Amino acid sequence: MSISVSEIKHLRDKTGAGMMDCKEALEASGGDVEKAILHLRKKGLSDIGKRSHKTASEGTVGYYIHAGGKIGVMVEINCETDFVAKGEAFQTFAKEVAMHIAAANPQWITSDEVPQDVIDREKEVMADSLQGKPEAVIDKIVEGKLAKFYKETCLMNQLFVRDTNITITDLLGDLAAQVGEKIVIKRFMRFAVGEGQ
């Protein structure tokens, strides 16, 4: 049985479990969402979303140096326990995210962090390029272009450079489901030789 990406995302939205776990659960349940949720509960993955109130005060600083030392990234990623922070899956995730930041050059972690003046400027530029179209059409197009802007500039919205079928949010969700803890990308810094002069 073929499971669509939208079915997987629907189950992920309902449970907070990782994309691959949702796919496996849907395949195991023949596409039945309720049975898939039961499958995930049995595996202990569906309560990851309930951990949002937990404090993620442990973690690691991942880093990546690229292009003969011309680009470097440091990223702080937090979790709930030192045990998970020292685990191979968590450490690998930190390195993967640092490498992604080096390649994709995000400006912010989430769209909530984009300053309002930047959003207003982007909307103005987008709307100006659509002069002559009906107002309702302009609003819809600007909304779509803004979503694309977030996908290009916000880390959590970006497609993972090593697997463009998933976003960084999906990658983080898969790790959270795997380790059973809240995971937070706290901050990052990207350095490139010659930039900022």
Please name the amino acid found at residue 131: Q
- The answer to whether residue 1 scores a pLDDT higher than 90 is no
Decide if 5-46 and 52-110+154-192 have a common fold.
no
Predicted TM-score (pTM) of the model is 0.71
The tens digit of pLDDT for each residue in 19-72 reads 788 888 899 898 888 888 778 766 665 455 666 667 778 999 999 998 789 999
Domain ranges within the chain, ordered by starting residue: 5-46, 52-110+154-192, 115-152
Record the tokens describing residue 38, joined without a space.
Answer: 């039961």
* Residue that the structure tokens 């970006």 belong to: 158
* Residue that the structure tokens 């949010």 belong to: 169
What's the topology of domain 5-46?
Helicase, Ruva Protein; domain 3 (1.10.8)
Per CATH, the homologous superfamily of domain 52-110+154-192 is Elongation factor Ts, dimerisation domain (3.30.479.20)
Q: Which residue has the higher pLDDT, 80 or 41?
A: 80
* Residue that the structure tokens 């779509």 belong to: 144
pLDDT value of residue 125: 85
